[in-house]
Chains A and B, each alone.
Chain A
Amino acid sequence: MTTQALRTEAEPTEAVPGRTAATAVRTPRSHKLTIGVLLAPACVGLAIFQLGPLVYALLNSFRQVSLLDLTNSKYVGLANYAELLQDTTFWHSMGNTLLYVVGKLVVQVPLAFALAVLLDRKLRGTALARAALFAPLVTSGAVIAVIWNLMYFPDTGLFNAIIDWSGLPTQPFLTSSAQALPAILLVGIWEDIGFSVLIFLAGLQAVPASVYEAAELDGVRGFRLARFVMLPLLRRTTMVVTFMATVFSFRVFTPIFVMTQGGPDNATNNAVYFMYQQAFQFSNLGYASAVGVTVIVLVAGLLALQARLLRTDLEY
């Protein structure tokens, strides 16, 4: 099928009835040049700082490279990937990563939606709640990790002080294999939820008031309003929130680095921390690059799956 044929068969768009790609106003050449000039710095920056390292990592993943002596590397083909497939610690860290992602999506997305709905109602104390939710967004991740670390402290931390005061046995939040990952997850949710709420809030405020009025006339309120009106209309917003939460979850590093160093017994070792260990603790840059490439492929696959599951034609 030719391009011309495609153009003639183009469907009218939702936005402007009767307009097709073929009848769209053409951008003048001078405008194209201006656009190109204006975009060039950003494109060059992306190429140097994003694409370049990616290509470099891909090339390194086929080599054995020591961080201390980059000149002394040797080509090993797919050996790093073969080793990766057999590395139980890597798969354990991937398992932890997926657990973290699932945990975060299951808790953070519905909670963020609920909080956004509450904030949207402009109840008393909304301003304070909004500030409290958004404060972690502008706080250093390392500072957050240090503070939570102190609160989780086995004998003198805030949480155990409260637990001890209420007569219950104190908990080894960060020193128990069973509790360490949920403890890190809680920090992640607390830190990132403000961002998700912000996106949901923007989505909610974009929905026309007439929709709510119509729902009210039909007697749809409360949970049913959220379930059958808001959520379908916010499907695209939900997709963005889910995407962002997934990406943030895959990238989580600071709390693990500061609070548990991947322990105890690899219970909090995730893909990124595992990669960091290979590169900067074991000087094994080639293997770390193979881990990086594998993780990128897996994340891309997961995001594609999410996009497919959440796709919609509605947009607000």
Chain B
Amino acid sequence: MTRRRFLGALGALGTVGAVGAAASACGSTPPATASIALPDGLWPYTGPALTKQRITLRVLRQQFPIKVQDQYFSKLFAQFTAAYPNLRIEDQTVPFGELSQKAQLAIAGGSPPDIILTFGDFMPEYVANNAAVPLDGLIADDFIEDIVAPTRTLHSHDGRLYAMPWEQQILAHFYNADVFAKYGVEAPPVSDDPADAWTWERTREAWRELEEAQRGDDRRLWSLAPSIMGPGGPGSSYWFEGIFLRSAGARSGTESERRTFEAVSPDGTSARGYVDTPEAVAGMQYYQSLFTDRLTPRAGLPNAWYDGRAVSFVNADTTALRAQQLKVKFRWAVAPVPAGTTQFSHGSGAGFFVASASKHVPEAAALLAFLHNDANRMTWHSEVRGTLPARTSLFERLPRYRQHPYKLMLNTLEKCAYPPPATPGALSYQYVLNSAIKDIALGADPAERLRRAATKLDTLLARYR
């Protein structure tokens, strides 16, 4: 074959390929394969009929810590595309700490994924910036009403739902019972009633006793494991560390206590007088003492509690299932989250929203509906991840919530879990406070640092006034 012929053949092959690709991209041909019906149909989807054209739905979500959790998505996506072969799903995953920025950049680029997973705390900002589509009319009303009230509030704006809550999380105090027993230190009470919780002060006493008892040991354990969220270590998660600020306030106390508890002005645009109150400063002084007393490390230690390098772990409810999955080598117990002036846990979680720039809103909403139907949710909550459901009816169908420690988690959710501060500048709010919390952990003066954070926040939130 001559070179000219070879090049000619190559060109013809390229042209055929390009034409074929263009034809399939135009989506003019309905799929030839027969569809396999979904077991529960598309409930709770109530929108228009789905397109028959070939389209690709892009999903951006966090990479889950355990392989089986990621595989669960692949399985559900395969089921959905088997029923709707004209739909292709492109699943993009990023580490949780990078999810918000990835989403922001994708939205700014003008071609975001159709479906984006975000932490519920940030939903007000996406709504304020018209980045999400309201789901009313696409999702059944009874499904929306079934969502636990604080979570529904978090994912809604002006009475319209903007995100499907995937799961919710609360805090509990997990501890290594063997270590408490070994050193003869009284352990926090194991109970399903949050009211039985120790105070933060009493908890610190026990941690100090543990620290004291280990003097002279070759291998000393940390009394409290550091946060494992985001980048890990101090200042990595307002969702966890923010409770030291807000639990120092009270919902129905003095004006200052009330503002400390609320953490932001009612319109979400002012933080001065909310995050820098005397109560908030006291909360941060307590938090700082955990570092100055060497009860917790100044840097992240992944898996410190699971590996037996730390005694206590104040962390999300998923810790219980994770400990079972990892078959940790010690006896562990769960106590209610310690109480400040108020017993406080942030009760929020991740949720999926449909990007307003999506060209396939009905199909995206239908996929979300399928992911959130009862059967799929039950599997996720009971076998795959162990997080709390976001809907009341699911609690009734999951027997685990009638026994310890899951009953404690449900009670915590109902009695002392509160949504994060609702502000249209939610991302900025948490970045600024995380940075302040980290500085305080590393030795900055709490009063001065919180005052600076409040001033910075007011500057940033002024845009939304």
Contacts and interface: CB of A to CB of B under 8 A. Distances in A.
B444 A280 contact: no
A263 B442 contact: yes
A254 interface: no
B108 A68 contact: yes
A70 B110 contact: yes
A97 to B, nearest CB: 19
Contact of A281 (B107, B235, B428, B443): B428
B53 interface: no
Contact of A282 (B108, B130, B431, B444): B431
A174 B299 CA distance: 9
A64 B463 contact: yes
Nearest to B125: A68
B105 A280 contact: yes
A67 B444 contact: no
B428 A265 contact: no
B92 interface: no
Interface in B247-281: none
Given A154-B297, A262-B435, A67 B108 contact: yes
A66 B463 contact: yes
Contacts of B130: 69, 72
Nearest to A260: B438
> Chain B, interface size: which category?
20 to 34
Interface string B438-465: 1100111000010000001000100100
A223 to B, nearest CB: 43
Contacts of A154: 297-299
> Chain A, interface size: which category?
20 to 34
A87 to B, nearest CB: 9
A261 to B, nearest CB: 7
Contacts of B427: 281-283
Contacts of B435: 261-263
Interface majority SS on B: helix, strand, loop or mixed?
helix
Contacts of B449: 265
Contact of B460 (A261, A264, A282): A282
Interface string B409-429: 000000000000000010110
A2 B143 CA distance: 83
A261 B231 contact: yes
Contacts of A69: 129-131
Contacts of A265: 439, 442, 444, 449
A70 B438 contact: no
Contact of A283 (B428, B439, B443, B456): B428
Contact of A175 (B105, B131, B442): B442
B105 A263 contact: no
A153 interface: yes
A82 B147 CA distance: 46
B453 to A, nearest CB: 11
A277 B297 CA distance: 26
Contacts of B108: 67-68, 70, 285
Contact of A153 (B299, B428, B463): B299
Given A67-B104, A175-B299, A277 B442 contact: no
Contacts of A66: 129, 463
A113 B78 CA distance: 60
Interface in B202-256: 231, 235
B444 A264 contact: yes
A282 B101 contact: no
B126 interface: yes
A285 B110 CA distance: 15
Nearest to B459: A83
Given A68-B108, A264-B439, A281 B431 contact: yes
A175 B438 CA distance: 10
A176 B298 CA distance: 10
A277 to B, nearest CB: 7
A120 interface: no
A165 B131 CA distance: 55
Given A69-B130, A282-B425, A283-B129, 19 more contacts: A67-B108, A68-B129, A69-B129, A70-B108, A154-B297, A154-B298, A154-B299, A172-B298, A261-B435, A261-B438, A263-B438, A264-B442, A264-B443, A264-B444, A265-B444, A282-B432, A283-B104, A284-B428, A285-B108
5 contacts: A68-B108, A172-B298, A263-B435, A265-B449, A282-B427
